[in-house]
Structure 1
C-alpha cells in the first residue's frame, strides 16, 4: 500500500508548504481571478493520472474489465459501440485496433477523472487540501476501481466547473451526455443543477425536463430493464455503502448549518446546497431501498461535495493551521481505514504498475 501513501503524502506536504500562498489567494483574489495552479500541484495531478491509468491488476472489477477488453478483439466497430456504453466501447475497439492493451483504455478514462478534479479545484482557496480529500475515495477507490463510472463522474465534474463559470445549462447537459457514454447512471446529475442560476424557475424546469427526456430517449431507454434487473431485482448490496454515503452527509450537514461562514457566492451555494440535499435523501433512501448498490452508485456523483466543502473549513470554521491539520488527519484516517478494513480492499493491494508487470 506504499504507493497510495506516497501519493497522499505528496499532497499532504503540499497543504502545509503552500499554506501561506493559500491564505494570500483566498484573501486577495475572487474565485475567477485566482492564479493558475502551482507547478508542483500540476506534477502531482499528472502522477495521479499515471497511477490510475497504468495500474495493473488493481481494483475489484479488474478481472471483469480485462475479460471485457479481450472480447472486443472479436467485435467490429458497430458491435463495439452497441455492446456497452459507446464511449467505453470505442476506447476498447481503438485499443484492440492499435494493438494496445487495457492500459490504453484505463489511461484515457483516467484523464477526465483528473481533469474534472482539476477543473473544480481551480476555484478553491486551498486546492492542495481539496485534492488530498479526493484521494482516498474518489481517486483510489472510484478512479482505480470503477473505471467507467469514474470517467462519467470526471465529465460531470468538468461540466459543474463550467457551470460555476457561468456556462449554459445546455453545455452542462452536453458534458453529462458525454458522461453517459461511459456509464448511463450519469443521467442522474441533470436535476442537480435545478434553480442554481439566475434563470427563471419555469425556464429551469423546461430545460431540465427537455434535457432529461432527450438523454433518456437517446441513451437510456434500451437499458433501463437491464439496470433494474441488475441493481433492484437482484438486490445487490454494496459493502460499506452506509459509510460512503455518510462521508457526503457530513459536509452536507456542515454546509447547511454554517452556510454564511463559507465563502460561496449565491450560485455556488445553490449548487452545493442541491448536492447536500440529495446526499441527505440518499442516506434515507439507503434505509428503504431494496438495493444499496443502486443508491451507492448514484451517491458516487456527490463526491465533489466532500472536497469542496471540507477543504473550506480551514480559515472559516477553524483556524487555518488547525483546520488544515484536522481535515488532513480526516483524509488520512479515511485512506487508512479503507486500505486496512474495507471488505474489497485486498483487490487494490499490492498496487502494481503496468511497466513492471
Structure 2
C-alpha cells in the first residue's frame, strides 16, 4: 500500500542516516517538500474533502466586517479570497498545507534531528490533519511557531500565534491559558499552575459550544471514536514514558525547552483522561500535542540512558510504524477516506468538486 510504503521508506531512511547528521539535515528538506506536495495536491482524498468543499461554496465575501462575526474568521477569509480570485476549491488544501508545513519547519529546525522529528509526525498527524482536517492542520502549524516563541520566553509572540491559529480553528485558543507561564524559568510552582490551567481549559473546551460543534461534526460512527482511543492512548503512554524515564534526563540535557515538553506531557495525560468524557474532544485536543510528542521521541538518541539506549531510541519508530500498519491495513475508515490516492499536481481532472 502506498501510505505504508512511504512510512517504511522514511523510517528506514532515518535509520540508515542515524550516524550521518549532516546528510539527515540535507535529506530533511527533500522529505519536507515531498510531504508538502503529497498533502497539498491530493484530489478527493481525505475524510473532510466534501465538508470543506461545502464551506468553500458557502464563502461568498472577504468583507472583514462580516467575516469577524463568524467562527474561525481567518479561515473564512481565506475561502472568500479564493472565491474572489476565481481559484478552485483544491487550492484551499494547498494554502492550509503550506501553513502547516511552514509551522512544522519552524519547530523542526530547532531540533537536533529535524528529519526524525518530521517522519515521526507522518503516521498520525500529517495523515489526519493537513490531509483531512485542514483547518485544524493549519492551526497546528501556527501553534508550532507559538511553541517556538514559548521556548524563547516571548509571551507576546506566543499569544499572537495562538490567536492567529484560533482564527483558523477556535479550539487553539485553549493554549492562551499557558500565557502566564510563558515568561520565565520552569519551577514546580509553574508546573502546578500549568496543570491547573490545563484542567480549567479542558473544562471550558468541554462545556463550550465548540464541543457541541465538534460533536455534531465528528461523532459519526463508533469506529471513528474507537480509533480515537488508540490515538489518544498513545499520547497517554508517551506522557507516562516521559515522566518515568525521560524527565530528569531532559532537564539536564535540554533545559531551555524542558518547560514546553513537560507541560505538553501533562496535556497528553489530560487528553487521555478526557476519553471517558468525549473521545472526540480528547482526540481533537491531542492532535495539538503531537508535535511536542515528536520532540520528545526525536531527541531520545541524545539523552544519557545508562542502558538500552538503542532500544529507547528505536521504540517510538517501531511503535508508530506498527500502529500505522494496523490502521492502514485493517481500518475501513482509512480505506474509505484515503484510498485511492489521487493528485492534481499535473493539472485538475474534470469533476464536480473543483469550483
* TM-score bucket of the superposed structures, by smaller chain: 0.7 to 0.9
2:288 partner SS = helix
Cα displacement (A) at 1:133: 1.0
Tell me the residue number matched to 1:351. 341
Cα displacement (A) at 1:197: 4.8
- CA distance 1:274–1:76, change in 2 (3 Å): closer
**What value does the CA root-mean-square deviation take over the aligned residues?**
3.3
Q: 2:318 aligns with which of 298, 311, 329?
A: 329
Aligned: 1:229 with 2:212: yes
Tell me the residue number matched to 1:41. 28
Aligned: 1:300 with 2:287: yes
Tell me the residue number matched to 2:7. 8
Q: Is the 2:211–2:281 Cα contact (8 Å) retained in structure 1? A: no
Which structure 2 segments of 5+ residues have no match? Answer: 199-203, 350-355
Tell me the residue number matched to 1:30. none
Aligned partners of 1:282, 1:337: CA distance in 2, in Å? 22
Aligned partners of 1:153, 1:274: CA distance in 2, in Å? 16
Which structure 1 segments of 5+ residues have no match? Answer: 26-35, 213-219
Aligned partners of 2:36, 2:117: CA distance in 1, in Å? 16
Cα deviation, 1:302-344, whole Å, max 9, x if unaligned, reads 1113211122223534666555544332232122122123352
Aligned partners of 1:196, 1:159: CA distance in 2, in Å? 10
Tell me the residue number matched to 1:309. 296
Cα deviation, 1:247-273, whole Å, max 9, x if unaligned, reads 111221121112223364334222211
Tell me the TM-score normalised to structure 2 length. Answer: 0.80
Tell me the residue number matched to 2:352. none
Tell me the residue number matched to 1:178. 164
- CA distance 1:124–1:281, change in 2 (3 Å): same
* Larger deviation, residues 186-195 vs 155-164: 186-195
Cα displacement (A) at 1:130: 1.5
Tell me the residue number matched to 2:88. 101
Q: Is the 2:24–2:115 Cα contact (8 Å) retained in structure 1? A: no
Tell me the TM-score normalised to structure 1 length. Answer: 0.80
Cα displacement (A) at 1:76: 5.4
Aligned partners of 1:41, 1:191: CA distance in 2, in Å? 33
* Larger deviation, residues 74-83 vs 37-46: 74-83
* Equivalent residues in 2 for 1:1-357, closer than 5 Å: 1-2=1-2, 4-22=3-21, 38-72=25-59, 74-75=60-61, 77-78=63-64, 79-80=66-67, 82-164=69-151, 166-192=152-178, 195=181, 197-198=183-184, 226-231=209-214, 236=219, 238-258=225-245, 259-262=247-250, 264-287=253-276, 289=277, 291-316=278-303, 317=305, 323-345=312-334, 346-355=336-345, 357=349
Aligned partners of 1:200, 1:324: CA distance in 2, in Å? 26
